[in-house]
Amino acid sequence: MRVLKMYKTAIGKKAVVAITGVVLFLFLIAHMGGNLKVFGGERDIDTYAEHLRTLGEPIFGWADVLWIMRAVLLVCVLAHIVTVFLLVKQNKRARPQKYRHHHIQASTIASRLMQASGVVILVFVVLHILQFTTGNVQPAPVLFREQDGHLMAEVYVNLHAAFSLWWVAGLYVFAMACICVHLYHGAWSFLQTLGFDNQDRNRSFRIWAWLLSVGLFFGFSAVPFCFWTGILPPPSDVPSQTHPAQSPETH
């Protein structure tokens, strides 16, 4: 197949990494926008969470569209990781001998930390899903409420409970830093893949990539930081606890 032949080339792999990277970046933007609704209060963030689960009704069932989006994101994450691994392997085969002189100036700290930050991000994503989606990992109790025959996570309550723990908030901020380091180099590499690498424009592209990554870092980190410091108030009412395994989303 022509697509498979293209994928076997370095250019094809770089294209897959770039495309999946863009999809994941757009998801980060949307996810950050949703997270920031906590600053509008409990009602705003809980209504937003309910809206996500009712997308596509009545054509689709409860949370079906949400799970479709999650499946697409999972495919993109796996394709991104596997392709990066194959690309690194292919590059090593193409250059079996190391350079005699290694100039540190030729690479940025972000590029040298890409693999390490990628591993941290993968572990974080798994833990994040197990904590806030399925409820299997519970540093703080995960609460649900019944609505129209479905169990809805108490988003504001659960965020407050989790991020009131200093080490949970700290781990999330650290993970966000790794994501943004990864994004900085990824955004720069994406522009190079598209052929925009030019001595006259490089400085502007690097500034753009830096502003993008720093903006996402502060946008995501604001939520755990503000819950931990008490800037965001505790929930007005804490419902009775429901075991996470009863949630339709965990089956």
Given a cut of 60, is residue 216 above it in pLDDT? yes
Higher pLDDT, 92 or 49: 49
Point out which residues pair with 145 in neighbouring strands: 152
Q: Is the Cβ–Cβ distance between 142 and 158 less than 8 Å? A: yes
Share of the chain above pLDDT 70, in %: 79
pLDDT of 172 = 95
Given a cut of 50, is residue 141 above it in pLDDT? yes
The 10s digit of each residue's pLDDT in 151-187 is: 777 889 999 999 999 999 999 999 999 888 888 877 7
- Count the Cβ atoms, other than its own, within 10 Å of residue 51: 10
Query: pLDDT band for position 7 (50/70/90)?
Result: confident
Q: Where are the domains of the chain?
A: 2-92+110-250
Strands 144-147 and 150-153, bridge-based pairing? antiparallel
pLDDT, the chain, mean: 80
Provide the Cα torsion 123, 214, 52, 169; round to 10°: 50
CATH topology of domain 2-92+110-250: 3 helical TM bundles of succinate and fumarate reductases (1.20.1300)
Give whichever of 10-14, 111-115, 133-137 has the largest mean pLDDT: 10-14
Query: pLDDT band for position 249 (50/70/90)?
Result: very low
Query: pLDDT band for position 220 (50/70/90)?
Result: very high
E strand spans, the chain:
144-147, 150-153
Residues 6+ apart with CB under 8 A from 128: none
The 10s digit of each residue's pLDDT in 16-30 is: 888 898 899 899 999
* pTM score: 0.81
Point out which residues pair with 151 in neighbouring strands: 146
